Amino acid sequence: MTAPPPATRYPALDGVRALAAFAVVFMHVGFTTSRSVQDDLFGAVIARGDFGVTVFFLLSGFLLYRPFALRSFGVGPKPLVAEYFWRRALRIFPALWLVIAVVLAFVTAYPVRSQDWVHYLLLIQTYDHHDYDPNLTQLWTLVVEIGFYALLPLLAAAVGHVGRRSADTVLRRQAAMIAALFAVALVYNLTVTYTSMTNTQALLWLPGYLDWFGAGMTLAVLSAVPSGVRALTRPRWTIQVWAENRGLCWLLAGVLFSLSTLPIGIPRTLAPATFWEWTTQHYMYLGAALFIMLPFVLATGGRTARVLGSAPARLFGNLSYSIYLWHVPVMLWVLRRLGYRQFHGHFWELLVLTLTGTIAIAAASWFVVERPILRYGSRSWRGTQEAAARTAAAKAPIHSS
């Protein structure tokens, strides 16, 4: 078997992540000012800024599952599960706990109880209706992400690796596992809609979004398949052709996103969505995000990839997590300080002030809190990996050229 291209980083995805974060900011400001309910194209587009969440979930599925996918085909080192959880904890919780502490102690206008601290700090608030504080409403996606992080090593273990079976068999098992994730998501959403499940927050739980993560995992598997594997040759070849035609991919992504702005998707008002509205938008978002990412992970991505992988884009990619965490409390704080009323306009003023304040706080969070913790908190793991690599190199046979 020949290993796939040895890319360990995909710089363009940093820029994609940053754009997704800014899309969510536009959506929240548009909703708060009622700009997103105006009957024009701009209002329809910013109303669908939550498409950024779909992109986040696909990115997580791709980036986090790829080391496990490489290992399953025998072309990458075995991921250390303890290290995986430790790195996820370092990336998620310090910045999260900082924003929760500031919001609950100084920003929120709601009375804060001790159980509120516990639910938000542990990311369990959507399971029993403790997510009532509008300053932290965006954190529901992190609850879903944490559930996926916990599930991922189990999914990888269920597939197995080439040490026990052929690469063709592993690929078929990967495809079956991902298909099961799509099926579980559909069945779960049908169950929530058409049965007596009464928890109104059930659509904010992980099972409803397993297909979004599964789409990212699909890209991870395709990027990891060694040459010489014959299973699923035709669909793999077709997807590769699409990936190399980035113009077609991005055209299809644009069409799907544009369709999602029509009334066939979730209402732009506070009116509840029907199952078909929710489901139609759900799959259009999935398809659009998948076509956006294809050229960046299975092909070069061209000049667009170079722009999205540039130093400024990578910086905003690093800031994107804190931008996502901080933009809602900053927006609502600015709204109160200026005396603006919710749903009464001032979109551009609120957007500029929210972006300015959020980026400043996100930069401080990244450089003062997040980056130092990531750098120093992972030192022991780096040392262990480097020692293991040196040992393996010392034991490896020497081949003449």
User: What confidence score (pLDDT) does residue 257 get?
Assistant: 98
Number of continuous H segments (helices) and E segments (strands) in the chain: 16, 0
Instruction: Flag whether 189 is in a domain.
Output: yes
User: What confidence score (pLDDT) does residue 304 get?
Assistant: 96
Per-residue pLDDT tens digits for 188-211: 999 998 887 666 788 899 999 999
Which single residue is written with the structure tokens 């750098």? 375
Q: What is the mean pLDDT of residues 330-354?
A: 95
Amino acid at 205: W
Q: What are phi and psi of 316, to 5 degrees?
A: -65, -30
Instruction: Flag whether 334 is in a domain.
Output: yes
Using CA atoms, how far apart are residues 194 and 187, in angstroms rounded to an integer? 10
pLDDT at residue 108 tops 70: yes
Using CA atoms, how far apart are residues 35 and 42, in angstroms rounded to an integer? 9
pLDDT at residue 354 tops 50: yes
Per-residue pLDDT tens digits for 19-76: 999 999 999 999 999 999 999 999 999 999 999 999 999 999 999 999 999 999 999 8
Q: What are phi and psi of 227, to 5 degrees?
A: -65, 150
Confidence tier at 1 by pLDDT (50, 70, 90): very low
Instruction: Flag whether 395 is in a domain.
Output: no
Q: What are phi and psi of 119, to 5 degrees?
A: -65, -45
Confidence tier at 220 by pLDDT (50, 70, 90): very high
* The total number of structural domains that make up the chain: 1
- Identify which has the larger pLDDT, 128 or 291: 291
Instruction: Flag whether 3 is in a domain.
Output: no
Instruction: Flag whether 53 is in a domain.
Output: yes
Amino acid at 384: T
Please report, rounded to a whole number, the percentage of residues in the chain having pLDDT higher than 70.
92
Instruction: Flag whether 280 is in a domain.
Output: yes
Q: What are phi and psi of 257, to 5 degrees?
A: -65, -40
User: What confidence score (pLDDT) does residue 400 get?
Assistant: 34
CA atoms within 13 A on the CB side of 397: 3
Listed residue (181, 164, 170) closest to 231, CA to CA = 170
pLDDT at residue 85 tops 70: yes
Confidence tier at 401 by pLDDT (50, 70, 90): very low
- Identify which has the larger pLDDT, 271 or 265: 265
Instruction: Flag whether 26 is in a domain.
Output: yes
Please enumerate in sequence order all residues whose Cβ is within 8 A of that of 304, keeping only pairs 6 or more positions apart, or say none: 12, 246, 295
CB 260 within 8 A of CB 51: yes
pLDDT at residue 128 tops 90: no
What's the chain's average pLDDT? 91
Q: What is the mean pLDDT of residues 142-161?
A: 96
Range of the domain at 370: 12-387
pLDDT at residue 395 tops 80: no
What ranges in 110-226 are assigned the alpha helix state H?
114-121, 140-159, 167-194, 210-224
Instruction: Flag whether 398 is in a domain.
Output: no
Q: What is the mean pLDDT of residues 266-284?
A: 92
Please say whether the dihedral angle defined by the alpha carbons of residues 234, 9, 308 and 14, taken in this order, is positive or negative: positive
pLDDT at residue 374 tops 90: yes
Q: Lowest-pLDDT range, 69-78, 183-192, 381-390?
A: 381-390
User: What confidence score (pLDDT) does residue 398 get?
Assistant: 37
Please report, rounded to a whole number, the percentage of residues in the chain having pLDDT higher than 90.
82
Confidence tier at 391 by pLDDT (50, 70, 90): very low
